[in-house]
Structure 1
Amino acid sequence: MLTLGNGYLATRGAAPEASADGVHYPGTYLAGFHNRLPGGAGRPDGEESIVNLPNWLPLTFRPAGGDWYAPGRARRVHEHRMLDLRRGVQLRELVVVDPDRRRTRLRQRRLVSMANPHFAALETSIVAENWSGRLELRSGIDGGVSNAETAARVGAGGRHLADVTGGANDDAIWLTAVAAGSRQPVAVTARTTVGVVDAAAPATRTVVRDAAAVAEMYAIDVLAGTPITIDKTVAVFCGRDRAVHDPLTAAAEALRWAGTFAVLLADHVAAWDRLWSRFRLDVGEEHVWQLPLRVQTFHLLQTLSPHTVDLDAGVPARGLHGEGYHGHVFWDELFVYPYLNLRLPELTRALLEYRYRRLPAARRQAAAAGMAGALFPWQSATSGRDESPVRSPSPVTGEWQDDRTGRQHHVNLAVSYSVWRYWETTGDLSFLLDHGAELLIATARFWAGLATYDPSDDRYDIRGVLGPDEYHDGYPGRAGQGLDNCAYINVMVAWVLARADEACVLQDRHPGAAPWRAAAVPAGERRRWTHIARRLRLVFLPNGLLAQFAGYGDLVELDWDRYRRRYGDLRLLGPLLQAEGDDPNRYKISKQADVLMLLYLFSAEELTALIRGMGYHFDPARIPATVDHYLSRTTHGSTLSRIAHAWVLARTDRRRSFHMLLDALGTDLADPAHSSTREGIHLGATAGTLDILQRCYTGLEVRGDVLRLNPVLPEGMDQLDCVLRYRNRLLVLHVDCDQVRISAGPGADPPVPVAVQEQVHLLAAGAIVTVPLRRRDPGADRA
């Protein structure tokens, strides 16, 4: 949680004098920089992992003749660390007493520059409080690191860096390495300066090298109470960077022109100030949510920032904060893009282009399965090949078992959903026609090919699939064979088929905007898409509620009270049942939202129209009963589950929505005993909590080229203020219990239609629209 990053480079919050020892874990990562090591995860050629790069932090001290300070050496009598969110700086104060009772105070400031993505810097002040004499310092770059954070749990990891070489010149040290498999080069240069007030003589410098590290040692005489200052400035480049001949030359040149720590800090703070002005989301300085919201925003922007736009990188599920899931890209982007669409849409576009560049690999994966179209893998990294593990250890017993999560083919539905919502929000026709339409068409072809026709009732079935609920991968006695007519998948397929057809219409309507390579989809194929979309089968429970999949109603009810008494926390219910020799496929249980994901992705009006368009009667008045049915059978084994459930409860049970969101806000902040945050933040949950306030509680949606607002603030929140970017207009939104006020920045843009509780207003540039809110029926929210 003390990681600093800028969307290109991130460094974990480990102390500069620490090394990986089971408690501390220094880690530096570059977005999209992966490597493959053989073996592990059930794959003979291994699994790609984000690479733990050379550690630039090492800096320690000792009185001459003493031990170098490190965790466990000397007596630590005081330590305080702080993360300055506004300025993007980590601050630290440390007081240690060595065996000779010499007391030394250390203060540090650390940054990873948001102004220049290749720079990081560490400022250290050391005061010998009760002693005088010779002080020695050691500042280095360690290339002997490995990926060891998750190795014991997943059976992977290891040393990814090869050909490590280090050296020095008159004022800097440098280290280069290559990724062992991909041979991608990386270079780190470091400049350390030592200053002492009224020093009789400058510090002496000695360069020390070993097989995988390089360091410089300084010796200087100090007086009790007189501070010395050590500035360490670092430049990091890799072979994936643009406009670079070779990483070492680029890093050396950048460092040569780098300013002092004070200069780097000023530029860095100014860059963060600009970001905060764009990503403002305020609920009141005294509100219990305000600080967690800023922490979430801070860590989101350290992973995905304006610097990410120029990279070939996706949305890593665990941020750039650790090695969880090996830095892979999942469907978590589905929870990230809606927030970015209304803040930094060019970033969403760049991240969707990461998917587009891997469309050929997705087509190959579909073809290998005997299918048409494209199938994105559940876990993706550099090339777009499937990085999903074949086997993984049980989180309960540690025993290795078959891992079938890679069969979650609905990831391509998530990509298509994100494409269309980006287009709706931004009106970016060039992206839709140049990239988005092809993604939509390829996804439509995959699912149309998977649907089988039953002429007896003019319905289509989709069989042998997995939905978002990972507790069910088959039927009782048929584990791993998939499920039939998953409601989430079938409704999403119907929606994507319609959007693919609509994209084709837009191509025909705007031939000048369509790319030269655009291929026309035959009219017969589009007619089949329409027929499938209208006739996909859904299954309903005897009480009329939408069934999660065919056969769900025949499953056994779990004795929840018994299992809560036995285990307490049931977030690992599926693995717990397996450890008992039981089968989760037998029960009406869910790890995370499945049917209810539909209510997260679509408004009640949209979902009603979708299901009715599939030829079924659907009463939106039954939505609260549907929520209650599945929520009472969900363990929230995924961090994304509470995001979806907080959303779907917002209109029917504001109090439960409030508490569900509190739990989601605490995913990485308040529940370390049940969280894997040490391996990286949960980026989908991070962005999803922000988006609940931005879109859910404001009722914000874009539909029919109108920005619509229908606010329902939760209990305990009196106001919400945020800045939005809608179709290149900067809008400032204020919502309280009585009114909505939305103002547009000055400019030459034409007025934009804004609807508040379905009352449409034209918002001109530089204008303000204030609309009183109609009072809700107090009985609408259940206490």
Structure 2
Amino acid sequence: MSVAPEWILAFSGYDPADERRREALCTTGNGYVATRGAWAGSVAGDHHYPGTYLAGYYNRLTDRVDEVGVENESLVNLPDWLPLVVAVDDGNWLTPDNSEVLEYDLELDVRRGVATRRFRLRAGDGREVRGIERRFTSMADPHIAGQTLAVTVVGWSGRLRIGSAVRGNITNSGVERYRKLAARHLTDLSPLIADGNLLVTATTSQSRHRITVGTRTVASHNGSVRPDWSTSTDGTSVYAELTVDVTAGDVVTVEKVAAIHGSRDVGISEPQLAAQLALGNAPCFRDLLEAHVLAWSQLWRRFELALEESHDGALAALRLNNFHLLQSVSPHSIDADAGVPARGLHGEAYRGHVFWDELFVFPVLTLRTPELTRALLRYRHRRLPAARLAARQEGFPGAMYPWQSGSDGREESPRLHLNPLSGHWTEDATFRQRHVGLAVAYSMWQYVETTGDVDFLSDHGAEVIIEVARFFAHLAEYDAARDRYVIKGVVGPDEFHTSYPDRPGPGIDNNAYTNVMAVWLFGMAARALDRLPAWRRIELVESLGLRQEERNHWDELTRRMYVPFHDGVISQFEGYEQLAELDWPRYRTTYGDIRRLDRILEAEGHDVSSYQVSKQADVLMLLYLLPRRDLYSSMERLGYPLSAALIRRTVKYYLARTCHGSSLSAVVHAWGLAAFDPDRALAFLEQALHSDAGDAPHTGTTAEGIHLAAMAGSADLIQRCFTGLTTSNDVLRFGPRWPAKLGTLRMALRYRGHRLVAEVSSTAVTVTVDPGPGLAIAVRCYGHTRLLKPGDAHTWTAPG
């Protein structure tokens, strides 16, 4: 089947130093489970890292670092179902690392969700084999994966050996800087051979989750089935081997079906039984693949985001990014209670934790699969008790959400950080990023605004929003000298500035992003209460003990919060302008890649907190989250009138002082520049689109897992930033600043129960609502509002 190039990610030739990055980018998953695109049969090392991860399956291990107890919770690497290998006679199993590589190509078909590896290897004795391996992780059945290997004998006769296995002796060792810490999460390994199938059941050491990984393998020689496998076990893993007498041109084909179940699954008795039943009832590889491809085709209809191919591979990058988004969170995630992992299910960076940057993911999901956003936000609501406990332990009411979240909602951020450049362990105060609660509340309100789901607001969202507002209202202190309220001792999204260079103690004061978004939150908390039915509002006020004095204080804070400025720009935080300027040309010349200036400076004996250097300019996050009219209105109410000129100066000021050490930086800068420097905004869009696929092969971190928020954020730049798409007050609005270089955008959306298609160009916007039941929706563009009923279409022409 021919596939258009904008659906294909292809790598040609074998590059051992780049293989782990390619493995991450060629991961196949379905939102429940994902498997890295490693060579089938490889083991963890410098060149390869096989990994399979189940959403939400975490485990804790404890170490001692410098006589300090350090506990880390990690997403667990599961038993490896991939091994499917070949050997000539009694030789070693052939790999690209122990053979002469004559041909090697790796390809990911994102339309069908299939990874294909083609290779031709020459063994040490000169004999060659040619192989094609294909694999998928089923989007039709979340517990099933499939794999085939077709091996052709090239110019020799003798014995060809085929090996298959499920390896249970697995550790978490995919991130080099974690390798000195405990990594063995699986215990009670129980290999089993049942009805010719290979299964390994394991239990996580602390969380006590049971997981079973099983495989069913069928082989044929020149079309004839070969059932004569021999099997064995070594106590941790289980193996099968087949020996075939072959001559030149013979083809041996192996089909492998994997079943994966865990004890957190719904609707099962226990994992081993569920996996055995799945293997016994699963159809052949071809039928499984057909159902999988159909499921992907249906997802792609929902997530249609077709960009005219006129801008440096933008369409291919956009599809790849959406593909990895849907492999990390999909409709199969709805029952998983797992949140949005910052690095997807693609590796072990950040230990699989959930961060604030989920707010970059939800806009893409909510406009296409709102039921998925709803389920993922429930992850946060279920952990509201943990957030309340964290607030109480700090002496505050309300809810304080953790910077890094895992299984139960406690703070999972490491308190010590290893700088791989210097080898030093340093204190890590990034857990003081209290703004994560603002992101949680923001995402819940935006979901309600887009969907009109007042039931969610009533049952879950309003409670979270109010509790986060209570926390921030008490975090704010009255400053009599200013006659304003201030927020001290926090860390903003920038992350580099966790303290002042001349002041003991962690945190900085009056981070502009935190203060302004807190003001936004106080207004939204009041609106959320007012939007509830009267009976539910009374219940919630009673249950939370919410007093009218608190609501009055929220209103006061929307008028009296302090926001720092200097030199005609918004200050990132109070005192930012007093920090030293960095010699940017020297550092760029000396180091080239300066994205991790914090590590570079620490290795030199300096502290990044002493400089006007930003990992990502968090002031500009305000432009990403708040429509200009809302930002201007909030600041006007505070007594800080803004202007387009001030915003422009602020963007330029931080652009000159940002090293873009965060993959999100390009998204945020593109958003900030779109209104007044579209060409530069497009350059940042390009960076965002290729943030992982274009990552430096040998120095980037994509090998440890993709950057999910940056991938989703690139799609959000296209769907919302350049189209000016907003959803508020029951109106779907477009305010296009669409670059002509991008041609025409066609995207499918779901809004208020309707599916609609929007086509956007630099000259017009057309919205078509699918036929069906439902009420008319209000759509506004270029200052004109139309009520569109199901089956209606309307075109707005750009003025002038």
Structure 1 length normalisation: TM-score?
0.96
1:566 matches 2:590: yes
Matched, 1:339 2:339: no
Question: What is residue 778 of structure 1 aligned with on the other side?
Answer: none
Task: Determine the C-alpha separation between the residues in 2 that align with 1:356 and 1:422.
Answer: 14
- Name the SS for the 1:44 alignment partner: strand
Return closer, same or farther for 1:52/1:446 CA change in 2, 3 Å cut-off: same
Which of 703, 707, 715 is 1:682 aligned to?
A: 707
Partner residue, 1:451: 476
The match for 1:411 is 436
1:293–1:665 contact (8 Å) kept in structure 2: yes
Match of 2:22 in 1: none
Map 1:18-33 → 2, pairs under 5 A? 18-33=42-57
Which residue in 2 is equivalent to 1:647?
A: 671
Displacement of 1:108 in angstroms is: 1.4
Return closer, same or farther for 1:229/1:129 CA change in 2, 3 Å cut-off. Answer: same
Partner of residue 356 from structure 1, selected from 381, 388, 405:
381
Alignment of 1:736-751 (within 5 A): 736-751=761-776
- Whether contact under 8 Å (2:217, 2:255) holds in the other structure is yes
Contact 1:128 1:223 in 2 (8 A): yes
**What CA RMSD, in Å, does the superposition of the two structures yield over aligned residues?**
1.9
Q: Which residue of 2 aligns with 1:259?
A: 283
Q: How do 1:475-554 residues align onto structure 2 when only pairs under 5 Å count?
A: 475-478=500-503, 480-509=505-534, 511=536, 519=544, 521-541=546-566, 543-554=567-578
Kindly indicate whether the alpha-carbon contact (under 8 Å) linking 2:88 and 2:123 is maintained by their aligned counterparts in 1.
no
- 1:272-671 aligned at under 5 Å gives the runs 272-285=296-309, 287=311, 288-478=313-503, 480-509=505-534, 511=536, 519=544, 521-541=546-566, 543-671=567-695
**Structure 1 regions of 5+ residues with no counterpart?**
776-783
User: Do the aligned residues in 2 keep the contact of 1:374 with 1:443 (CA within 8 Å)?
Assistant: yes
1:657–1:714 Cα contact (<8 Å) kept: no
Whole-angstrom CA distance in 2 between matches of 1:71 and 1:569: 30
What's the CA shift for 1:235? 0.4
Unaligned runs of 5+ in 2: 1-24
Task: Return the alpha-carbon distance in structure 1 between the equivalents of residues 119 and 401 of structure 2.
Answer: 48
- Residue 717 of structure 1: how far off its partner (Å): 1.1
How far apart, CA to CA, are the structure 2 residues paired with 1:330 and 1:154?
22
- The answer to whether the Cα contact below 8 Å between 1:507 and 1:514 also exists between their aligned partners in 2 is no
3-state SS, counterpart of residue 564 of structure 2: coil
> Structure 1 residues 517, 256: closer, same or farther in 2, change over 3 A?
farther
The number of aligned residues is 773
8 Å contact 2:463–2:540 — kept in the other structure? no
Partner of 1:779: none
Q: Is the 8 A contact 1:473 1:479 kept in 2?
A: no
CA contact (8 A) 2:309 2:742 kept: no
Counterpart residue type for residue 26 of structure 1: P
Q: Which residue in 2 is equivalent to 1:728?
A: 753
Does the alignment pair 1:759 with 2:784?
yes
Give the Cα separation in 2 of the matches to 1:348 and 1:470.
27
Q: Distance in 2 between matches of 1:184 and 1:403?
A: 30
Letter matched to residue 702 of structure 1: T
Contact 1:430/1:514 (8 A) holds in 2: no
The alpha-carbon distance between structure 1 residues 223 and 504, as it changes in their structure 2 partners (threshold 3 A), is same
1:35-46 correspondence runs (5 A): 35-39=59-63, 44=69, 46=71
Aligned mate of 1:228, from 241, 245, 252: 252
> Shift in Å at residue 229 of structure 1?
1.4
Q: Distance in 1 between matches of 2:695 and 2:167?
A: 33
After superposition, where does 1:107-118 map in structure 2 within 5 Å?
Answer: 107-118=132-143
Whole-Å separation in 2 of the counterparts to 1:165 and 1:593: 50
Matched residue type, 2:49: Y
Q: Give the C-alpha shift of residue 40 in structure 1.
A: 5.9
1:41 touches 1:390 (CA, 8 Å); kept in 2?
Answer: no
Give the percent of matched residue pairs that are identical in Structure 1 and Structure 2.
Answer: 45
Match of 2:78 in 1: 53
| CA distance, structure 2, for counterparts of residue 198 and residue 249 of structure 1 | 32
**Contact 1:40/1:155 (<8 A) preserved:** no
Amino acid of the structure 2 residue aligned with 1:767: D
User: Are 2:756 and 2:768, in contact at CA under 8 Å, matched by a contact in 1?
Assistant: yes
Partner of 1:85: 110
Q: CA deviation at 1:513?
A: 11
- 1:212 matched to 2:199: no
Does the 8 A contact of 1:204 with 1:220 survive in 2?
no
Tell me how far 1:412 sits from its aligned partner.
0.5
Q: Does the CA contact (< 8 Å) of 2:429 and 2:507 recur in 1?
A: no
Give the drift of 1:768. 0.9
Residue-by-residue CA offset, 1:661-692 (whole Å, 9 max, x unaligned) = 11122211112244200000000101000000
Distance change (3 Å), C-alpha of 1:123 and 1:515: farther
8 Å CA contact 1:6, 1:301 repeated in 2: yes
CA distance in structure 1 between the aligned counterparts of 2:757 and 2:356, rounded to whole angstroms:
30
Q: Separation in 2 of the partners of 1:419 and 1:581?
A: 43
- Asked if the contact 1:154–1:392 (Cα under 8 Å) also holds between the matched residues in 2, the reply is no
Cα distance in structure 1, aligned partners of 2:541 and 2:109: 49
The C-alpha deviation readout for 1:175-228, integer Å capped at 9, x for no partner, is 1110111111000111101112365x8442211110211011112233321322
- The SS at the match of 1:204 is coil
| 1:245 matches 2:280 | no
Pair 376,205 (structure 1): closer, same or farther in 2 beyond 3 Å: same
Residue 510 of structure 1 and its aligned partner are, at CA, apart by: 6.0
* Deviation for aligned residue 1:51: 0.5
Deviation string, structure 1 residues 245-288 (Cα, Å, up to 9, x no partner) = 11000010011110000000000000000011111111124542
Q: Per the alignment, do residues 96 and 186 of structure 1 end up closer, same or farther by CA in structure 2, a change over 3 Å counting?
A: same
- Contact 1:650–1:714 (8 Å) recurs in 2: no
Which SS does the other structure have where 1:332 is aligned?
helix
Counterpart contact for 1:17–1:71, Cα < 8 Å: no
Pick which of 464-473 and 564-573 moved more. 564-573
3-state SS of paired residue (2:741): coil
1:62-73 correspondence runs (5 A): 62-73=87-98
Residue 15 of structure 1: CA displacement?
1.0
Q: CA deviation at 1:738?
A: 1.5
Give the aligned partner of residue 16 of structure 2: none
How far 1:568 sits from its partner (Å)? 3.0
Residue 40 (structure 2) pairs with residue 16 (structure 1): yes
Partner amino acid for 1:62?
A: A
1:395, CA displacement in angstroms? 4.1
Q: Deviations over 1:409-463 (max 9, x none)?
A: 1110111111111111111101111111111111011111111123455311111
Structure-2 separation of matches of 1:424 and 1:510: 21
The one-letter amino acid of 1:583's match is D
Indicate which of 167, 180, 184 corresponds to 1:142.
167
For 1:500 and 1:733, locate their aligned partners in 2 and report how far apart those are by CA, in whole Å. Answer: 32
- Give the CA deviation at 1:515: 7.5
1:467–1:486 CA contact under 8 A, matched in 2? yes
For residue 589 of structure 1, report the CA deviation from its aligned partner: 2.1
Higher mean C-alpha displacement, 39-48 vs 764-773 = 39-48
Q: Any conservation in 2 of the 1:335–1:684 contact (CA below 8 Å)?
A: yes
Q: Residues 38 and 456 (structure 1 numbering): CA distance in 2 closer, same or farther, change over 3 Å?
A: closer
**Under a length normalisation based on structure 2, what TM-score does the superposition of the two structures give?**
0.94
CA distance in 2, matches of 1:187, 1:117: 14
Distance in 2 between residues matched to 1:341 and 1:307, nearest whole Å: 16
Q: Is the 8 A contact 1:40 1:47 kept in 2?
A: no
Q: Distance in 1 between matches of 2:397 and 2:427?
A: 27
Q: SS of the residue aligned with 1:234?
A: strand
Offset, 1:501: 1.3
Amino acid across the alignment from 1:73: N
